[in-house]
Structure formats: C-alpha cells, structure tokens
Structure 1
Amino acid sequence: MSFDVTALPGATFGGLLTAPINAADLIFSAEANPTILPLLLNEFNGFLLIKGMGMLEEKPELFLRLSQIFGTEVESYKETRMAQQNVHPEIPEILMVSNIPPADRKPPAQPNPPRNPDGSLPIQFPHRRGWHTDQSYRRPPPDISLFFCVVPAPKGQAQTLYANGIAAYESLTSEMKTRINSLIGIHAKPGVGRGEVAVRAGEAPIQLGPGDQPQQQPVVRVHPETGAKSLYLCEAGQMDWVDGPFAGIEPGPDGEGADLLYKLMTHFTKPEFVYVHDWDKGDLVIYDNRTLIHAATWFDATKHQRLMWRTTVSGNPGPEYAGETKSWIVP
C-alpha cells in the first residue's frame, strides 16, 4: 500500500497524509517499508499530519510501533525522572499530557492581551510565550516527537503552534547568518530558576544534580539527513538566563545575549513561518525537533478536559553529538 501525502492546507510547510486512512494499515505499510515515512517527514520540512487514527487509543501498542519507525530508540519515561502519574500505565514510552487526574497538568496561561487588536490569535514572540523544542536541555536532544489527540478541547482552544526553523533561517540576512552560524545556545530545564522570569524576579537558581545541568546546543543545526540549516532555539523558559542565553556573549536578562535572543525568536515566530493546528480526536502529528519549535495555547481547564499522548524518538541527532552519553543519565 502506498502513502498519499499532500501539502498541508493553511500552512507554508508540512504534509497531510491521506492514505492509508486507518492506523492498522498505516503501521503495516510503514513496517513493510520503514524508510518511506521518515523520508516523507523530511520532504515536508519536518511535519506530517495524519487524521482518523482513533484506533491508537484502543491499541496503544500500535502507537509505540509507529514511533519505532522514526529512530533507534523511543524513550521510556519509566527510566527518566518524569513524574510517573504522567506516564501511560501500560506503555511506558507514552507520555500523557493532560489536565485529567492523575496527570492533572495545567494549561499554559493566556497571552496578555489574549487577542491581537484585529481579534486574531497571538502567534509571534514575545506576545506568545512558551515556544520550545522538546528536551533541548539534554544532550543529545531528541529527534522526532509523535503527538496524538485522545480527548480534544473545544475548537479555538488548546491549539498547538509549529514554527519552521528552516524557513526562518533561510530568510535571515547574510550578516545575521554570519553572526550566529557558530554560536552556541545554553538551554536549561524549565522550573529550575534559570529562566528569564525567575532571573528577573531575583530567584536563586536551584542546585542541580549532574543529570540536570544546562546544556550547550548549536544555534544553527544542520539536519543530519537533508543537510538543511535550521534555527535551534527556545525562548525565555527553556534557555539559561544565568550564564546565557548564549555562550561567549554578555549573559543575563539585560545583556547582549538577551537582546539577540529576542530578535531571533521574534523572527523565528513570524506568522509566515507558523502553522496553527486545531485538534480533532484521532489526529496524529509527527514533528522533527531538529527543525521545528512549537507552543501550546490556553484552554479552559475548569470546563473542559484534554488528553494527548506523546512519544519521543532518538537515534540521529547529528555528527556533533557522536559518541556522547546521555547527559540526563548519571551512572
């Protein structure tokens, strides 16, 4: 069975997979031809949307099998310091992102103001906060994530925004490219007192163990399979504002590095580089963390429930990580 993929409607990047149209056929075809879906993901700039995958809820082992197509390792959240109430009870490789107990994860705050003057959804940083790529505070960082909608919030709430780092890099001026091509960003785990808000508030950073130290990452990553250059950045909450956000540039929230990060993130999240996904039950999104960043939007958790499943796949971060042990695993 062949795969039918068309350009993603309403976006400047990404693909919509329209066949096979059920999860069992999709996984059978993917396992029979394991290189095709990863190649399609690359062809469509690191983003694939597959609708109607409701069978994955009934058979979560199929979600794991599909994830295994995209890399040599699917992370087991039983083996990390992830809060175990957020881990699927049967498949430890599935992270549950939800406000439904026992997970009980709060939605992000609304932007201030919640809407643009024309009534549209705020997209661009710094009006929109929360832009990140998964687990950039680790070395090596993960390659691919798969995100599946089990219980959606109402339309117009709990969207996920995706920004294309390849297009954002390509549109930079030659002067800016020269400035950042060899620049190193310093990424930090959220909630440890090293983000912009905490540093501006004068909070003392938390003493971190060896597995949670901030990690340095290239600001411009070269995709190991396509050779495409992409911006690789997060914003305030996942960069280190104590010693960074960049190595070798004046640190801190009022330093030269902060000014550069704001300029780059404002550019990275221009609406022309962003796709806004409004979730339906059974939607599956596959995205490449090496080239995309994303952000979640608010939903009214006092009235609505939401449940998403995520897997995280590793295996080919690029030659700059060759031979490295996992920074978050301490012998």
Structure 2
Amino acid sequence: MAADAGNGRFFTVDPLTSASFGGRISLAETSTLDSAVCALESSPALLVQALYDAGGLLYLSGLNEISTEPGLLTRLSHLFGPEVEDYEQTLTERSKIHPECPQILQITNMPPSCQMPPVPPDPPLTAAGGLPVKFPHRRGWHTDQSFRRPPPDISLFYAVIPSPPGQGQTLYADAAGAYDALPADLKATVEALEGIHAIPGIGRAEYAVKAGETPKPLLPHQWPQRQPVVRTHPVTGRRSLYLCEAGQMDWIDGPFVGMEPGPEGDGAKLLYELMMHITQPKFTYVHEWSQGDLLIWDNRNLLHCATWYDAQNHQRLMWRTTTRGNPGELYSGEGRSWLPEDDARPMTGL
C-alpha cells in the first residue's frame, strides 16, 4: 500500500498495524473538514482507489465536525458510488433515520430508537483472555443488506458517541483473503453454489427455525434472495466468500440452494465450516472506537460484526450510510428486489 496515496496532496495512507488488510487515512491539513471534503470531491477516484488498494477497509479519525454537519458524511459517501441510500424510501422505521439527512441511519440505544447491542459471547473471553472473533464463539457476522438484489457496495460508519473503551468494537473479516486460503476441494465445492439470504427477524434465521417459530408472511420486496457464495469483485477482480451466518441466511429453504436445508442439514454443516474459516483471527481486524472515527468498508469482499456494550449505563450513537451502483456483471439489468410497492408498510427486522 502506497504511503503517498493521493499524491500526498489530499491524504496519505498507512497500513493498519493490527491486521493483514485495511489502511489508515490521514487527510491533508486544511482549515476545515469541509475544505478537505471539497478537495476529495475534486478528485474522487483517489480515495476510492485507496479503498481497493487497502483490501476494502479505510479508517479515518478525528472527523468531529461531522457530528454537527451531517451533510459531510453524505458528501463523503457520494465519493464511493452514484447512489447513497435514502432510508425514507425503503420503509426504514422513522426513529432510525436522521431527522435532517434521510441518507443516514442512526444506530443507537438512545430514544426513540432504543436499539440494544448483541449479547456478549459465552464465555466472554477466549481461553487466552482475548476478545472472541471466531464463529461460532462470536455470533453476528454478516455483510450489509445481503438479502437484497443487487446488494449494496460500500458502507460508511461514523462514531458520534462511541461506547466506552473495550466495549462496542466492530469486527471485520477479509473474505477475499479467506477465499484464497481455502483448500482446493472446498473451493470446488463452493464454486457454483448459491446462498439464500433473508432479512433478520422474519422467522427464517437459524435460531427461529430451531425454536419452531412461524415465519412471517412476506411481501415481494421482503422475499429471501439468492447470492453467489463466490463473488468476483467488479473492480479488483478478486474472488471472495460472500456469506452471512445464522441470523441473515434462510434456514427454511437454505442456507444453500441444492443442499439439504435446515439447521441439521448438509448446508448448515458447510456454512459453519466456511464461517469458521473466514473468521479466523488472521483474517480479522478489531476496531476500538473513538469519537469522530469513520470506517469505510466494501461489502463485496468484507464481513463485519457488532459487539456488546453496556447499554444500560452508557449511551452510544453511530451513523451509517450505504452506497450502491457497481454490484458486478452478475446483476446487470436487474431490477431492485427490495423496493416496496406503494401500499407496503414497515415491518420489524427491516
């Protein structure tokens, strides 16, 4: 990774020291963040290329101005794709949408949204005393909105009020590096395989099927969607494993097309094997959040995972945007599976 990315005029980038992928961006000195964003907008391809060169993950710190000027986040988001999702148009609950910028999803335990974090893993630490990252000890690994066709490209995640140190970390896994390291026989197994991805909270996740829950009736824009298990990046050409684990796959008809379905089927065994491979510590990065941090990642070749924080005693407010526009040739000419009809209504889990 070049240390003088952007020719040094707009930013420099250095490798993340605690991971085999990812880059830390240092913006050139300007009077305001607005000036820095204007400079990036004048040559938008530079930051995008830095993302690809870094394996799909960029980290910027000290961007505190975004918390009072949320439009800066949407402007940065537009550098990475022609479209930034407007959550008002996709039936997202109003309480989760930023009141001034409908392109910003608010992820917080604060009213009126009151979203709770995932439960901590059991046991809370590894045998060596570290933070668990490997599935199934660590649950919740996914890629954003994989239950849509075409799925999104890039996500941006910003810390307005982070959780306390040592809590609420976000974990990332390099699914391209994991694919490269697959044994030849497993590569052959997954080559033409499709996964069935489902919206969380509709009764089709592993835990729901095991508990005997009745799946919810779905409108067309909520139906599970097939995605290739091996996905080729439309820009870099690298192949990666495009998967989620238990909560975002369809465990009634899947998790894989053409394999024995359900939690006890052959498909479940394969998914567990693949997820355990992808989430090995050598393929992961753990981000400890500070106020003003911004992480940018490529959903086409990275997985990520939220972690527990003490939501009873600490407030946390994070902003997320999602861009789309280049899912790859596989999706060429497709309509958007996830656009609701005029009379559709929001549902829990979206």
| TM-score normalized with structure 1 length | 0.98
Q: Counterpart of 2:77 in structure 1: which amino acid? A: S
Q: How far, CA to CA, are the matches of 1:25 and 1:128 in structure 2?
A: 41
How many angstroms does 1:308 deviate by? 0.3
Query: Following superposition of structure 1 onto structure 2, how do residues 209-228 of structure 1 map, counting pairs within 5 Å?
Result: 209-228=219-238
User: Which stretches in structure 1 are left out of the alignment for 5+ residues?
Assistant: none
Instruction: Choose from 283, 286, 300 the match for 2:296.
Output: 286
Instruction: Choose from 310, 325, 349 the match for 1:315.
Output: 325
Find out whether 1:190 has 2:190 as its counterpart. Answer: no
Q: Counterpart of 1:70 in structure 2: which amino acid? A: F
Find out whether 1:113 has 2:123 as its counterpart. Answer: yes
- SS, match of residue 79 in structure 2: helix
Alignment match, 2:266: 256
Query: Following superposition of structure 1 onto structure 2, how do residues 72-151 of structure 1 map, counting pairs within 5 Å?
Result: 72-151=82-161
Find out whether 1:8 has 2:32 as its counterpart. Answer: no
Find out whether 1:163 has 2:173 as its counterpart. Answer: yes
User: What do you get for the CA RMSD once the two structures are aligned?
Assistant: 0.9
- SS, match of residue 169 in structure 1: helix
Q: Counterpart of 1:63 in structure 2: which amino acid? A: L
- The count of residues paired between Structure 1 and Structure 2 equals 331
Alignment match, 1:236: 246
Q: How far, CA to CA, are the matches of 2:113 and 2:98 in structure 1?
A: 10
Q: Counterpart of 2:222 in structure 1: which amino acid? A: D
Instruction: Choose from 14, 18, 22 the match for 2:26.
Output: 18
- SS, match of residue 70 in structure 1: coil
Q: How far, CA to CA, are the matches of 2:146 and 2:295 in structure 1?
A: 19
Deviation readout 1:219-252 (Å, 9 max, x if unpaired): 0110000100011000000000000000011111
- Kept in 1, the 8 Å contact 2:10–2:40? The answer is no
How many angstroms does 1:24 deviate by? 2.1
- SS, match of residue 336 in structure 2: coil
How many angstroms does 1:111 deviate by? 0.6
Q: How far, CA to CA, are the matches of 1:23 and 1:70 in structure 2?
A: 18
Q: Counterpart of 1:133 in structure 2: which amino acid? A: T
Q: Counterpart of 1:226 in structure 2: which amino acid? A: T
How many angstroms does 1:54 deviate by? 0.6
Q: How far, CA to CA, are the matches of 1:23 and 1:109 in structure 2?
A: 36
Q: How far, CA to CA, are the matches of 2:89 and 2:256 in structure 1?
A: 30
How many angstroms does 1:19 deviate by? 2.2
Q: How far, CA to CA, are the matches of 1:298 and 1:25 in structure 2?
A: 36
Q: Counterpart of 1:328 in structure 2: which amino acid? A: W
How many angstroms does 1:25 deviate by? 3.5
Deviation readout 1:235-272 (Å, 9 max, x if unpaired): 00000000000001111100000000000000000000
Alignment match, 2:348: none
Q: Counterpart of 1:196 in structure 2: which amino acid? A: E
- Kept in 1, the 8 Å contact 2:91–2:340? The answer is no
Alignment match, 2:346: none
Q: Counterpart of 1:136 in structure 2: which amino acid? A: S
Find out whether 1:60 has 2:58 as its counterpart. Answer: no
How many angstroms does 1:136 deviate by? 0.3
Deviation readout 1:4-62 (Å, 9 max, x if unpaired): 00001211100000123663243112101011111110000000000011111111111
Q: How far, CA to CA, are the matches of 1:115 and 1:286 in structure 2?
A: 27
Q: Counterpart of 2:261 in structure 1: which amino acid? A: P
- SS, match of residue 213 in structure 2: coil
Alignment match, 1:302: 312
Q: How far, CA to CA, are the matches of 2:340 and 2:221 in structure 1?
A: 6
- SS, match of residue 206 in structure 1: coil
- SS, match of residue 320 in structure 1: helix
- SS, match of residue 179 in structure 1: helix
How many angstroms does 1:102 deviate by? 1.2
| TM-score normalized with structure 2 length | 0.93
Q: Which stretch shifts more, 277-286 or 174-183?
A: 174-183
Q: How far, CA to CA, are the matches of 2:91 and 2:140 in structure 1?
A: 22
Q: Counterpart of 1:19 in structure 2: which amino acid? A: L
Task: List structure 1 segments (4+ residues) > 4 angstroms apart after TM superposition.
Answer: none
Cα distance 1:330–1:303, how it changes in 2: closer, same or farther (>3 A)? Answer: closer
Q: How far, CA to CA, are the matches of 2:23 and 2:166 in structure 1?
A: 22
Q: How far, CA to CA, are the matches of 1:228 and 1:118 in structure 2?
A: 34
